[in-house]
Amino acid sequence: MTALSIGRGVTLGSAEELEAALRHIGATRYHSLHPFHRLLHGGKLNKGQVQAWALNRYYYQSTIPIKDAVVISRFRDRATRVEWRHRIEDHDGEVGSEGGIERWLKLFVAVGLDEGMVKREEGILPATRFAVDAYVRFVWDKPLTEAIASSLTELFSPGIIKERVSGMLASYDFIDEETLSYFKPRLNQAPRDAEFALAYVKQHAKTPEERRKVCEALLFKCDVLWSQLDALHHAYVLGGGIPPGCFEPHEQTYAVGKVA
C-alpha cells in the first residue's frame, strides 16, 4: 500500500468525483505529511536548520509571482487574467506597500540570514532550483486547465500554515508573530484563490481523461513541494551531506555555486 491509493478503481465521471479525488490527493500527498515539516513545526530543528529551510523556501516563494505571470500571459480571456492578477499583487505588493515577499524577508532577518544573500539566491540546494523551475515550466507548457490545476495545493495550505505558525511560535525563541507575518494573510488569500481554481477545473475538465490530467497536475505540484523537503531533510537533518556550494549553517560565510 502506498499513499496513492487513488490510483486504482477511482472513477472520474463527474466534477464531484474530480473534487473528491483532488481532496484525496491532498490528504495523502501534500507536504504537510513530510517528516521535515513535522520537525520544523514541532520545534525539533536547530537555528541553522531553520535558516536552511527559510533560504530554500524563499526561492520557491519568490518564484510564485513569476509563475503566476506566466499563467496570466497564457490567457486571452481578460476576466481570468484579472482574477489571477490578485495572486501577483498578494506576493509583490505595491510601490511603497509590502507584499508577501517583503513579509517573508522578515523571517530571514529574524533567523539571522543576510537579506542580500537571500536575494542573490546564493547557497540554495540544486534540488530546490530544479523543482521550482519545473513548476514554472509546467504552467508554461501544459494546457490551461492543468496550469490552473497545479495551483490547487492551496486547497490544503491553511492547515499547514496554522500548524506552522503555532508550532514555530511555541518552539523557537527567534520567531515571533511579526516574523511570521507572511503567513497570516495567506489564511484568507489561499482559500479564495483555491476556490476559483477548483471551480475552474471542475468546469473546464469535461471528460474523465481531462479530469485525470487535472489530478496529475496536482500530483506533479505535490512532488514539487515534497522534493524540496526531501532535499532539506537529506542535507541538513539526516547527515546525507550538504551538496557542494550550498549553504553551510555553521559558517558565517559559505561558498556559492558560482565562480566569483
Query: Which residues form the interface with a copy of itself (CB under 8 A)?
Result: 2-8, 10, 12, 21, 28-29, 34-35, 125-127, 129-131, 133-134, 137, 212, 215-216, 219, 222-224, 226-227, 230-231, 233-235, 238-241, 243-245, 248, 254-260
Q: What residues pair up with 94 in beta bridges, in sequence order?
A: 97
| Residues shown for the chain | 260
Q: Which is nearer to a copy of itself, 95 or 259 (CB)?
A: 259
Q: What residues pair up with 64 in beta bridges, in sequence order?
A: none
CB atoms within 10 A of CB 249: 17
Q: Which is nearer to a copy of itself, 79 or 260 (CB)?
A: 260
- Closest approach, Cβ 173 to a copy of itself, in A, equals 28
Q: Which is nearer to a copy of itself, 24 or 192 (CB)?
A: 24
- Closest approach, Cβ 97 to a copy of itself, in A, equals 34
DSSP class of residue 26 equals H
Q: Which is nearer to a copy of itself, 175 or 225 (CB)?
A: 225
What span, in angstroms and rounded, lies between the C-alpha atoms of 182 and 116? Answer: 19
Q: Which is nearer to a copy of itself, 71 or 131 (CB)?
A: 131
Q: Which is nearer to a copy of itself, 110 or 256 (CB)?
A: 256
CB atoms within 10 A of CB 31: 21
Q: Secondary structure of 169-216 in the HEC alphabet?
A: HHHCCCCCCCCCCCHHHHHHHHHHHHHHHHHHHHHHCCCHHHHHHHHH
- Closest approach, Cβ 15 to a copy of itself, in A, equals 16
- Closest approach, Cβ 253 to a copy of itself, in A, equals 10
- Closest approach, Cβ 254 to a copy of itself, in A, equals 6
- Closest approach, Cβ 82 to a copy of itself, in A, equals 30
C-alpha distance across the termini of the chain, in Å: 49
Cell of 211: 479530469
